[in-house]
Chains A and B, each alone.
Chain A
Amino acid sequence: NAGVMQNPRHLVRRRGQEARLRCSPMKGHSHVYWYRQLPEEGLKFMVYLQKENIIDESGMPKERFSAEFPKEGPSILRIQQVVRGDSAAYFCASSPDFEYEQYFGPGTRLTVT
Chain B
Amino acid sequence: AQTVTQSQPEMSVQEAETVTLSCTYDTSENNYYLFWYKQPPSRQMILVIRQEAYKQQNATENRFSVNFQKAAKSFSLKISDSQLGDTAMYFCAFMKGGTSYGKLTFGQGTILTVHP
Contacts and interface: CB of A to CB of B under 8 A. Distances in A.
Interface of A: 31, 33, 35, 41-45, 48, 55-56, 58-59, 89, 91, 93, 95, 97-104, 106-107, 109
Given A43-B91, A106-B43, A106-B44, A101 B50 contact: yes
Question: Closest 3 A-B residue pairs measured CB to CB?
Answer: A104-B45, A42-B106, A45-B103
A93 B46 CA distance: 11
A48 B50 CA distance: 21
A55 B49 CA distance: 27
Contact of B106 (A43, A56, A109): A43
| Interface size of B as a range | 20 to 34
A43 B44 CA distance: 12
Given A42-B107, A106-B44, A100 B91 contact: no
Contacts of B103: 33, 45, 48, 56, 58-59
Contacts of B37: 104
A95 B101 CA distance: 8
B64 interface: no
A41 B108 contact: yes
A27 to B, nearest CB: 18
